[in-house]
Structure 1
Amino acid sequence: MRNDYYCVIFSPTSICRRGAVMAASVVGLVLMSAGSAGAHIEVFTDAPVQAGTGPVTLHFMAESESQTVGIVSVKTQLPEGIAPGDVALASGPEGWALTPTADGFELGGPPVAPGVDAEYSVTVALLPADSTELPFKTLQRYADGREDAWIELPSDAAPEPQMPAPVLTVTPAAPGAATPSAPTADETATSGSADTAAPVEASQSTDEESNAGTIALVAGLLVAVAIGAGVWFWRARRSS
């Protein structure tokens, strides 16, 4: 009876099967966690831009996390130095309209199709001259009332936040450039576009680093499970 028990519990086939189940469970949990943190909102430009220049068109992509309901709106807090009145809608989902708020803008309308990202663009009259990192903290809302707050900024305690705010990186302003106080739309229209400088650091690089870290973590967990199964089998054979 004892030998039969060990044959069932500690046989190589049984151990391998148990190890595979454990590994699959670990991988599933890791990938589920990575997926929830991976979805986000991105902001980028068509060409390199420099602080203190404008007008500049910013493109946003709000990734969908639902396969059953669509995105209905986004509400964005503008970085310091950009006034709500200096932002205009360039393009967006059909039927969506932009409304200025006290500290930014809200863009919304009929829900996009479930599982489809919301892509939209706004034109900013002039970028601040005193900053090269421009965060656009955004609330993303779905047709069922769900709201995702993409408002977290990296810190020493959390260099890769779970709900990161979209951040636009630009090159430093030209020497002597300063952010003027609330230029009017007419002034902005006649000012034209300024020269552009070095490339923008794409926000995708952060995603690639995060994905690489996830893959390394999964590989390490698989190795640990395999080693644990081997040690278990070796001890079982000795005790039998």
Structure 2
Amino acid sequence: MNRSHTRLQLSRPAFTAACAVMVVGMAAGPAAAHAEVTASDPRALAENVTLSFTSEAESDTAGIAELRVVLPKGIAPDAVTLKDAPKEWKLAATPDGYAIGGPALATGTDAQYSITVRQLPDEKTLAFKTLETYSDGKISRWIEVPTDGEKVDNPAPVLELKAAAPGAKLVAPSPSPSGTPSSAPSPEQSAAPSAPVASASAQATSAEETGSSTGATVGVVAAALLLVAAGTFWWVRRSRSRA
């Protein structure tokens, strides 16, 4: 009897630890999703490079319908063309990058597509900040760029570049009538995947400003409530003292 009791006592900590591991694993599940990028020729100044992107699905109820990407410095929106994408998905240039989307993918299906870039810039790393929009309107923001090896919650796809090949030179950009990247899609890109909305960088900034505004509003309300409570306490105490 004592041996059985002892075994039960010894097994409880192990059972508790196992449950804790399962809970942690389940909680970490959604956070494990991410967006990534690879290149056919990951070298600075490389020309006609294919960039392949994968955005992992993290919703259990909706599919990915659109991706909006902010291009890094040195890659203009008109220097990008669509190479491969899910069926019926189209690519359209935006002021700071491009949007690609179409019919929502099946729930749990990763969004995979590839583009061709005229030439990569002379940099060591390239970050492609990405906004994922699901069919239910939910937006996942993969826009954080880690520095000094730090870990971030929502890292943007980052491409590491090797040194440029000997003799490689920067190709002059194609002339643009307006002098700025056009937001209209090229003929092969067809129509935009969805109605025009704010760019990815603008949405990211808006989210930060919204959070700051909400925090300020909460602070004002809390202060007002404290003042009302203090006034009420003083009035009650004064009334009692008079009585």
Q: Same fold (TM over 0.5)?
A: yes
Counterpart in 2 of 1:123?
Answer: 116
* Equivalent of 2:157 in 156, 166, 187: 166
Q: Secondary structure at the match of 1:152?
A: coil
1: CA distance, partners of 2:127 / 2:120: 12
Counterpart in 2 of 1:53?
Answer: 46
TM-score (norm 2): 0.65
2: CA distance, partners of 1:41 / 1:99: 20
Does the 8 Å contact 1:139/1:151 carry over to 2?
A: yes
Q: Which amino acid aligns with 2:26?
A: M
Q: Secondary structure at the match of 1:134?
A: strand
Q: Please say if 1:65 is aligned against 2:43.
A: no
Aligned-residue Cα RMSD (Å) equals: 2.5
User: What is the number of residues matched between the two proteins?
Assistant: 176
Does the 8 Å contact 1:49/1:171 carry over to 2?
A: yes
Counterpart in 2 of 1:14?
Answer: 8
TM-score (norm 1): 0.66
1: CA distance, partners of 2:82 / 2:19: 45
1: CA distance, partners of 2:152 / 2:20: 22
Counterpart in 2 of 1:28?
Answer: 22
1: CA distance, partners of 2:14 / 2:93: 54
Higher relative contact order (CA 8 A, sep 6+): 1
Q: Which amino acid aligns with 1:22?
A: T
Counterpart in 2 of 1:141?
Answer: 133
Counterpart in 2 of 1:105?
Answer: 98
1: CA distance, partners of 2:67 / 2:9: 50
2: CA distance, partners of 1:23 / 1:139: 37
Counterpart in 1 of 2:33?
Answer: 39
* Equivalent of 1:183 in 159, 171, 174: 174
Which runs of 5 or more residues in structure 1 are unaligned? 186-240
